[in-house]
Amino acid sequence: MGALLELQGLGKRYGAVGNGWALHDVTLSVAAGTVHCVLGENGAGKSTLCNLVNGGVRPTTGDMSVQGTAYRPGSPADALRRGIAMVHQHFSLIPTMTVRENLQLVRRRALGDRLDRIADEFGLAVDPGRRVGDLPVGARQKVEIVKALLPDPDLVLLDEPTGVLDVAEIDALIGTCQAIAGSGRAVVLVTHKLGEVSRVADAATVLRHGTVVGGGLLSEVPVPRLLSLMLGRDAGELDADAASAVGLLPGGSTRGRAGRAGRAGATALSARNVHSGSGAETALGARNVLSVRGLTVHHPDGSPAVVGVDLDLRAGEITGIAGVEGNGQSELVRVLSGALRPTAGTVRLGDDDITSATPAARTRAGLGVVPEDRHREAMVGELSVAENLLLAELGRSGGRFRRRGMLQRAAMDAAAASVIEDYAVRADGPRAEMRSLSGGNQQKIVLARELAIDGLTVLVAAQPTRGLDFGAVASVLARLRGAADRGVAVLVVSSEVGELLTLCDRILVGYRGRLLGPVETTDPTAADRVGTLMTGTAA
Amino acid sequence: GSGDVGPGSDALKVGVFFPGSVSDTGFMQSGYLGYQRLEQAGGVELSYVEQLEASDYEQALVRFASQNDLVVSLGGQTDADVRKVAPQFPEVKFVEIGGPADAPPLPNLAYYDPQQAEAEFLSGAVSATVSSNGTVGFVGGVELPAIVNAAHAFGNGARFAKHDATVLPPQYVGDFNDPAKAKQAASATYGAGADVLGQIVNLGKQGMAQAAQEGGKSMVGGPIPGDCGDPRFVGYVHTDIGKEIEYAVNAVQSGTWAAQQVRFGLTSGNGGTDFVLCSTDPTVAATLQRAEDQLAAGAVQPY
Amino acid sequence: MTLLTQILVSGIGFALPLLVAAVGELVSERAGALNLSLEGMMLSGAFCAVLGSVTTGSPWLGAVAGVLGGLLLGAAQALLSVRALADQIVVGIAANALALAASTFGARLVFTGGTEVPAFDRLPIPVLHDIPVLGPAVFSQTALGWICVLVVVVTAVLLGPRTGRGLRIDATGEDAVAADRTGLPVRRLRALCILLTSAMAGLAGAQLALSEVRAFSDNMTAGIGYLAVVAVIAGRWRAPGTALAAVLFGLAQALQYALPALGVAVPPALLTMIPYAIAVVAVSGLAGSSRAPSCLTVPFARA
Amino acid sequence: MTTRLLHPATVAAGAVVAALLVGVLLAGLAGADPLTTVSALVEGMVGTPYAIGESLNGVAVLMLVAAGFVIAYRAGLVNVGGEGQLCAGGIAATAVGTGLPAGTPAVVALPSVLIAAAAAGFAWAAVPAALRAWRGTSEIITTLLLNFVGLALVTLVVHEEGLLRQPVTSSETLPQSAPLVDGAHLPSLGLPRSPATIAVAVAVVALVAVGIVLRRTGTGLRLTALGHAPAAAARLGVPVARTRFLALGGAGAFAGVAGGMVVATAPAVLAEGFTSGYGFSGLVVGLLARGSMTALAAVAVLLGFLVSGGINLQLVAGVPATTVSIVESLIILFIAGSAAWAARRRAAARRPAHRPAGAPVETVGATR
Ligand SMILES: Nc1ncnc2c1ncn2[C@@H]1O[C@H](COP(=O)(O)OP(=O)(O)OP(=O)(O)O)[C@@H](O)[C@H]1O
Ligand SMILES: Nc1ncnc2c1ncn2[C@@H]1O[C@H](COP(=O)(O)OP(=O)(O)OP(=O)(O)O)[C@@H](O)[C@H]1O
Ligand SMILES: [Mg+2]
Ligand SMILES: [Mg+2]
């Protein structure tokens, strides 16, 4: 089959970032009837590539052609006219409208028939009557994909669609991709997970720092080779965390923290895990630092989101919450962070009732939170890295960054620079705008900030590795582990079961607003038990 | 600057301040007509400024005062600023037209009082006489003293002509220059039974005339006399503000200028108030004449 | 005509231009564009309508000119706020000042003396017009008035929230980024909505000038444009509510002038506040819920 | 095109010159020759210490309203309500300033009047602020609406005897307030032959203070964070609702003080129309300045001085008042339009030259 999409020397330059090239001299061809994966670390230029093809961003250099004719899209609408549709990770459904209304924006005539056909052909069924804002994330993602398929495009660009999906949904998505390719169309799939690549891709392209470093048909370039290309080093050096993060080792080979601790120091990334040991853990573990009792939260529409949840976090222990998205995990975290008022129940931190405390008061009391929605809740993109790191600290009286009320920029920069170095953040210095960083680097900054809270006793991290490349994943996981080793009680909410199994001491499962479990990760059947609980089989 | 007098000549320099628009078909425009007559006559060096925000009144007055021998300011809304600026320029003569009629003049500030009320007395008399049902009403722009007094005078005039005339409560549009609202105010008054209306609004008149047309009713025009061919108008009051500017210039030129309250109108002998009757009915003309005579003689008070 | 009929007639007369402008503005606001320049669009429409009517002698061509006059300002608003990403509010305020000054300037150049304006006459609908009280108020509009009603209904129906176009407009105003990614031409949609709004505002100005007042006078819209924006807010961004608000405002205004005739004295300033106070309550959520389109006044540009 | 040519100041200057050219053209239509027009304009703006002082007083009011606007804008709130807040400030200042005993010394009278004005401005803005902070109602809409209520309120209080109308001694008593007591009048700055009052000093101090707070303090950073990402700001310890309330209320207080100062400037009476559109102009200044205090001062000076220039244009060159306002509004439109355009060109200018022909340029996602 011929090339559907061809890119010739495509480049995109932004004024401010580093040498400015987000994408440089990319030449690439996507054949009809194939699934073409685009791989790369955070900030490698994958989204930029998709956005260029989709007309959301105009190229600085280079040419594109679709089915052999020149293609110069000025807008996503142009792209659609040329048969190219894109699924974005964020912001492309109108939350206040129903699913049907959202789909009608693309196509009105015979919408029902078309939906039926999409359901048949690709196994994607949606409930048209629901308001999008009320749907769980996974369901929204499905609507996004249906929306992209509505105009019957020749090429579908999927930018990291699997981040918010559970295992079953990912399977379905892979089926959908194959069905699309099977019908003579093509899919460009952006992902960090090589496991998915090996299951679905016909061809792959690897980006590093904005340039193509390799790729080709999967029959010619096997997955381990892709991995080395992404890493820029030999795949053999990959540690288990990272391997599980990219989906090569489903479930993680070494289970639980106890097991991991035994290998402490074996890899550079977990080298900080110094004073761990089961003895120390048990001693610290005796102390409940955060306890939640009878917590109930309702959605704005009145339906229950969290129902009578009890939860105890113990110092030095990592508790995981697994579960399909939309089972109350997000709301639980938002209640803990103070962004949401519960309908009933209490949250106690140490001896204090913090149920209705402000986020600032919680921070003062030693509660750190890494929110799920990074762009909205965790960072201010327009402020600098230093400001994002230190803003909360400025609130407290007499911070070391203020003299006579004035900010001490030099001191702030110095402090931020040391964090940047410490966490190996790729940024244009402490004054770089937060939004100019790639997702993984943004996440590192957020984590660094929360870990630096004075007297941190509890850390709640929601989907801390979502959308991160494996280097970043490993580093984030190591930091969380390090915090626990310092005696912090850590709660990790994640849809990556494998990641939780390697990281946590015990795992709870969110199901219909309740927490099921716990499952001890040292238990050899832990993975299966978590899987069962996720489908709602009561524990 | 205009007038056919070159700078540097010893012609009298006069600055006229119109805080409103000189095309308002009312008070300001009537004054501007006088300004234009002076311009045509020549012999004085004239300049004017129109349409400023309240915060800029003072600045305009100061500029005039520093360049002219005589400064004329129109409208009571400038009173506070005129009273403030005049003392700073003792050698310049100031005239305020339409300010409060009971304000004490300053050594270099005279008040000229156009007797709009007298004109409205006549307007009321004519209105009541031509009215078929003896019901009349009055529409005013803003509830300013001069307008309120004129409204009273209108009622008194109506009762003077027809002692059993029904005078509806006056309407205040809240704006001299809003034709849509003026139309509503007029319609409401017609709707309440009036068939002739007196008025002191400026651009609002367009709306009133339309209300009269739609209701098949009539009204009194003015202050600038218009066309008697228009059947909606029974007549026009003629309050000539321009005459007062001319008077001020003459007074200064002839050395008779004095810091005092000067009344214009029928009772003063200074003229400036008149009524242009469109009706050819002799009884109406007779009533108008009677009202004019009685007013001039001081036998009746307009308000 | 009874007073009640009179109130209805003049209330609806005032409400009609308000309604056309408000329903037009509603379309823009749903697409995320706030046109404070609505006032200027109406004024420009009124000026051009009268200019067109006077020069061609045909009120119909005048009405067309009025629409074009509105479009002129709409094009400026669209160009600056959609294309150049200038702040909508700044553009709106400055455009109003521009329209006021330019139309006043133009009126002085071209409308000198009492030019007769060819205008529209009322076309009562037989039978319906004779319905007591309501008939004369509702079923006796000018030809242009009927067109206004038609345009309002057609706009409300064709661009209603359930139609395809309506959905696209709502999507653009609710989340412009998502709409863009969906393939909607966000900027073009917004520009078109603004142009539609301005054409309707021009029509409203023409209706005001050629049906209601039958003349042009400086600043003759005197805040109706702002009131139309308020009607959209009080109507909670839906056509029926907006229409209701516009009619209510018109009637309230008429009632304001009927009160004195009924012997009720309320300070007019107090009544002036009422529509705005109603609108504040309507948006505050104190009575029911309401939300402005999320992207109202937020310019859109692709990152 | 070089980046320097696209500097905001250059662009703004270009916009002003373009608008003035249109003005000269229009003035020519009205029969004034270009030279007279330009010299009259310049003479009017800066020709006499009096004109300068008078303009400065206007500039001070604009700067205060705009500075307040910027505070709220930083927090992501657009205060369209300057006009109404000026009204509230003016009314409160009058109530206090006419209520004080005649001999009240300035040290007492002046602060009381201005504090009352600030409090009233704050209170007037507090309604939309509270609705925004705790109910999420768009402040653009509510502040806009309250302008009309405020303007009507001024009309009401100066017409009603029981309220602030001066004692009605005859049927000739104008509907305006009595003058404020002497002690409440704003003292002159003391410049020779200049009517500039301490309002100018107050405004400059306020401007500098706002600039410092926004740029160099934690408060400024918190406001900025709130403006860009409210949810993240909450996470970072910013009390969102309270900060929003205070920011918009603060904007109101600034406008209120400005209103108080307008009333406390001779002739020191409250009358209909006393706001003279300063509320809307202040908003325009605040928005055109795009967050820079220097730009804010420059735009305020430009607009403030143009008024004097305009008066002189009428006087000396016989240019109609309408032409002057046409030019003023064109200046605003040209600056507003070209600023965003130039920002995009600036971004483009930093790109390499071999950009494919015809490829348009991007902007960084602009939100309000
Ligand atoms: N609008 C922009 N302005 C400046 N720099 C940008 C812009 N968009 C992207 N970049 C930069 O371009 C580079 C590539 O970003 P891109 O989003 O394509 O990465 P990615 O591979 O999708 O990363 P991730 O896996 O985190 O989604 C990054 O360094 C990013 O900071
Ligand atoms: N205005 C900007 N300035 C600088 N960098 C930016 C800007 N916008 C985006 N970026 C960078 O570009 C990258 C992509 O942004 P975003 O988070 O929207 O990507 P994504 O989630 O991968 O994309 P999409 O939502 O299109 O799927 C981020 O890493 C971010 O740092
Ligand atoms: Mg990406
Ligand atoms: Mg991403």
Instruction: Please give the distance, rounded to the nearest whole angstrom, from the Cα atom of residue D360 to the centre of ligand 2.
Output: 20
The predicted pLDDT at position A256 comes to 55
- Domains belonging to chain D, first-starting first, are 55-164+174-311 (1.10.3470)
Confirm if D165 and D176 have CB atoms less than 8 A apart: yes
Q: Is the pLDDT of residue D124 over 70?
A: yes
- In what side-by-side order are the strands of the sheet with A21-31? A21-31, A3-13, A61-66, A69-71
B276 to chain C, closest Cα gap in Å: 17
**Residue C290 token pair:** 């309401």
Residues A218 and A292 in one domain: no
Q: What residue owns the CA closest to ligand 1's atom 2? A: A14
Starting from the CA of residue A60, give the closest ligand. Answer: 1
Q: Is the pLDDT of residue A322 over 50?
A: yes
Mind listing the pLDDT tens digit for each residue in A93-104? 998 899 999 999
Q: Is residue C295 part of a domain?
A: no
Average pLDDT of chain A to the nearest whole number: 84
The residue that leads in pLDDT, A122 or A179, is A179
Residues A31 and A135 in one domain: yes
Residue ending a domain, among A175, A208, A237, is: A237
**3-class DSSP state of B141:** coil
**3-class DSSP state of A508:** strand
Mutation for D interface: C36, C181, C276, C286, most D CBs within 10 A: C276
Residues A165 and A288 in one domain: no
Q: Is residue A448 part of a domain?
A: no
Q: Which of A17, A49, A89, A191 to mutate to test the pocket of ligand 1 (most atoms within 8 A of CB)?
A: A17
Cβ–Cβ of C254/B190 closer than 8 Å? no
Residue ending a domain, among A210, A237, A264, is: A237
Q: Is the pLDDT of residue A239 over 80?
A: no
Section B249-273 average pLDDT: 90
Within A201-307, residue ranges assigned H as helices are 223-231, 240-245, 256-262, 278-285
Domain that holds residue C140: 3-283
With a CB cutoff of 8 Å and minimum separation 6, the contacts of C252 are C11, C271, C274, C275
Section C190-209 average pLDDT: 97
Q: Is the pLDDT of residue D201 over 90?
A: yes
Q: Is the pLDDT of residue B3 over 70?
A: no
Section B61-68 average pLDDT: 93
What is the rounded (10 degree) CA torsion for A440, A446, A449, A452?
Answer: -70
Average pLDDT of chain B to the nearest whole number: 91
Average pLDDT of chain C to the nearest whole number: 90
Instruction: Please give the distance, rounded to the nearest whole angstrom, from the Cα atom of residue D6 to the centre of ligand 3.
Output: 32
Residues A232 and A261 in one domain: no
Q: Is residue A380 part of a domain?
A: no
Instruction: Please give the distance, rounded to the nearest whole angstrom, from the Cα atom of residue A186 to the centre of ligand 4.
Output: 21
pLDDT-based confidence at D191, cuts 50/70/90? confident
Q: Is the pLDDT of residue A223 over 70?
A: yes
Cβ–Cβ of D148/C276 closer than 8 Å? yes
Q: Is the pLDDT of residue A18 over 70?
A: no
Residue A353 sits in a domain of what CATH number? 3.40.50.300
Q: Is residue A157 part of a domain?
A: yes
Mind listing the pLDDT tens digit for each residue in C210-256? 999 999 989 999 899 999 999 999 898 999 999 999 999 999 888 88
Domain that holds residue A278: 256-366+453-535
SS in 3 state form for A307-327?
Answer: EEEEEEEECCCEEEEECCCCC
**C-alpha separations of C293 from A132, C174, C201, D137 in Å:** 16, 5, 21, 11
Q: Is the pLDDT of residue B284 over 50?
A: yes
Starting from the CA of residue A157, give the closest ligand. Answer: 2
- Taking residue C241's Cβ as centre, other Cβ atoms within 10 Å add up to 18
C302 to chain B, closest Cα gap in Å: 42
pLDDT-based confidence at A258, cuts 50/70/90? low
What is the rounded CA–CA span in Å between residue D240 and residue D278? 30
Residue ending a domain, among A206, A237, A268, is: A237
Choose the closest CB to C214 out of B174, B178, B210.
B210
Confirm if B58 and B28 have CB atoms less than 8 A apart: no
Q: Among candidates D116, D67, D76, D51, which has minimal Cα distance to D259?
A: D116
A395 to chain D, closest Cα gap in Å: 7
The predicted pLDDT at position C197 comes to 98
Residues A362 and A458 in one domain: yes
Cα first-last separation, chain B: 41
Choose the closest CB to B183 out of C213, C260, C272.
C213
Q: Is residue C167 part of a domain?
A: yes
Mind listing the pLDDT tens digit for each residue in A507-521? 999 888 899 989 998
Q: Which residues line ligand 2 (CB under 6 A)?
A: A 43, 47, 88-90, 159-160, 435-439; C 303; D 364-365
SS in 3 state form for A129-145?
Answer: CCEHHHCCHHHHHHHHH
Starting from the CA of residue A379, give the closest ligand. Answer: 2
Q: Is the pLDDT of residue A251 over 70?
A: no
Q: Considering chain C, what percentage of its residues have pLDDT values greater than 90?
A: 61
Residue C155 sits in a domain of what CATH number? 1.10.3470
Mind listing the pLDDT tens digit for each residue in D18-39? 988 988 898 888 788 889 888 9
Q: Is residue C137 part of a domain?
A: yes
The residue whose two tokens read 């990592």 is A318
Ligand 1 and A436: CB distance under 6 A: yes
Q: Considering chain A, what percentage of its residues have pLDDT values greater than 70?
A: 86
Instruction: Note whether C5 contacts B: Cβ–Cβ < 8 A.
Output: yes
Choose the closest CB to D360 out of A58, A359, A395.
A58
pLDDT-based confidence at D78, cuts 50/70/90? very high
**Residue C118 token pair:** 């060819």
The pair phi, psi for residue D250, each rounded to 5°, is -60, -40
Choose the closest CB to D232 out of A13, A57, A377.
A377
Residues A147 and A10 in one domain: yes
Instruction: Please give the distance, rounded to the nearest whole angstrom, from the Cα atom of residue A241 to the centre of ligand 4.
Output: 20
Q: Considering chain C, what percentage of its residues have pLDDT values greater than 70?
A: 97
Confirm if C109 and C54 have CB atoms less than 8 A apart: no
Q: What residue owns the CA closest to ligand 2's atom 18? A: A90
The residue that leads in pLDDT, A136 or D235, is D235
Section C92-105 average pLDDT: 94
What is the rounded CA–CA span in Å between residue A35 and residue D86? 64
**Nearest atom (ligand 1) to Cα of A45:** 18
Q: Is residue C200 part of a domain?
A: yes
pTM of the model: 0.89
What is the rounded CA–CA span in Å between residue A24 and residue A17? 13
What is the rounded CA–CA span in Å between residue A276 and residue A273? 6
The predicted pLDDT at position A90 comes to 67
Choose the closest CB to D232 out of A58, A358, A379.
A379
**C-alpha separations of C195 from C25, C101, C177, C198 in Å:** 10, 22, 22, 5
Mutation for A interface: C162, C165, C181, most A CBs within 10 A: C181
Section D86-92 average pLDDT: 98
Question: Which chain A residue has the Cα nearest residue D344?
Answer: A15
The predicted pLDDT at position A528 comes to 86
A307 to chain C, closest Cα gap in Å: 28
**Residue A110 token pair:** 């015979």
Instruction: Note whether C303 contacts B: Cβ–Cβ < 8 A.
Output: no
SS in 3 state form for chain D?
Answer: CCCHHHCHHHHHHHHHHHHHHHHHHHHHHCCCCHHHHHHHHHHHHHCCHHHHHHHHHHHHHHHHHHHHHHHHHHCCCCCCCHHHHHHHHHHHHHHHHHHCCCCCCHHHHHHHHHHHHHHHHHHHHHHHHHHHHHHCCCHHHHHHHHHHHHHHHHHHHHHCCCCCECCCCCCCCCCEECCCCHHHCCCECCCCCCCCEHHHHHHHHHHHHHHHHHHHEHHHHHHHHHHHCHHHHHHCCCCHHHHHHHHHHHHHHHHHHHHHHHHHCCCCCCECCCCCCHHHHHHHHHHHCCCCHHHHHHHHHHHHHHHHHHHHHHHHHCCCHHHHHHHHHHHHHHHHHHHHHHHHHHHHHCCCCCCCCCCCCCCCCCCC
Domain count of the fold of chain C: 1
Residues A218 and A277 in one domain: no
B82 to chain C, closest Cα gap in Å: 27
The predicted pLDDT at position D26 comes to 86
H/E element, A460: strand A458-462
**3-class DSSP state of A154:** coil
Ligand 1 and A438: CB distance under 6 A: yes
Residues A14 and A49 in one domain: yes
The predicted pLDDT at position B34 comes to 96
Instruction: Please give the distance, rounded to the nearest whole angstrom, from the Cα atom of residue A141 to the centre of ligand 3.
Output: 16
Tell me which amino acid residue B141 is: G
Q: What residue owns the CA closest to ligand 1's atom 1? A: C303
The residue whose two tokens read 């705005």 is C276
**Residue A474 token pair:** 């490993």
Q: Is residue A398 part of a domain?
A: no
Residues A211 and A332 in one domain: no
Instruction: Note whether C178 contacts A: Cβ–Cβ < 8 A.
Output: yes
The residue that leads in pLDDT, C37 or A534, is C37
- Taking residue C57's Cβ as centre, other Cβ atoms within 10 Å add up to 11
Q: What residue owns the CA closest to ligand 1's atom 18? A: A45
Please report residues of B whose CB lies closer than 8 A to that of D278.
55
Mutation for C interface: B21, B136, B197, B214, most C CBs within 10 A: B214
**Nearest atom (ligand 2) to Cα of D365:** 1
Cβ–Cβ of D235/A395 closer than 8 Å? no
Q: Is the pLDDT of residue A60 over 50?
A: yes
Flag whether A touches B (3+ CB pairs, 8 A cutoff): no
The pair phi, psi for residue C81, each rounded to 5°, is -90, -25
B238 to chain C, closest Cα gap in Å: 17
C-alpha of D119 from chain center: 18
Cis peptide before D267 (omega within 30 of 0): yes
Question: Which chain C residue has the Cα nearest residue B167?
Answer: C261
The residue that leads in pLDDT, D66 or A130, is D66
Please report residues of A whose CB lies closer than 8 A to that of D228.
380-383
C186 to chain D, closest Cα gap in Å: 14
Q: Is residue A395 part of a domain?
A: no
Instruction: Please give the distance, rounded to the nearest whole angstrom, from the Cα atom of residue A16 to the centre of ligand 2.
Output: 14
The predicted pLDDT at position A243 comes to 63
Cβ–Cβ of D322/C86 closer than 8 Å? no
Tell me which amino acid residue B111 is: Y
* C77 DSSP assignment: H
Mind listing the pLDDT tens digit for each residue in C118-158? 999 888 888 887 887 777 778 888 999 999 999 999 999 99
Please report residues of C whose CB lies closer than 8 A to that of A151.
183
The predicted pLDDT at position A274 comes to 33
What is the rounded CA–CA span in Å between residue A432 and residue A436? 7
**CA pseudo-torsion sign C1, C4, C5, C6:** positive
Contacting partners of chain C (3+ CB pairs under 8 A): A, B, D
Q: Which of A41, A49, A438, A466 to mutate to test the pocket of ligand 1 (most atoms within 8 A of CB)?
A: A438
The predicted pLDDT at position B253 comes to 94
What is the rounded CA–CA span in Å between residue D99 and residue D92? 10
Q: Is residue A50 part of a domain?
A: yes
Instruction: Please give the distance, rounded to the nearest whole angstrom, from the Cα atom of residue B127 to the centre of ligand 2.
Output: 76
The predicted pLDDT at position A241 comes to 59
With a CB cutoff of 8 Å and minimum separation 6, the contacts of C185 are A75, A77
The tally of CA atoms less than 13 A away on the side-chain side of residue C201 is: 38
Instruction: Please give the distance, rounded to the nearest whole angstrom, from the Cα atom of residue A523 to the centre of ligand 2.
Output: 40
Domain count of the fold of chain A: 2
Instruction: Please give the distance, rounded to the nearest whole angstrom, from the Cα atom of residue A50 to the centre of ligand 3.
Output: 9
Ligand 1 and A256: CB distance under 6 A: no
B177 φ/ψ sector (left φ>0, alpha ψ -120 to 50, else beta)? alpha
Residues A260 and A231 in one domain: no
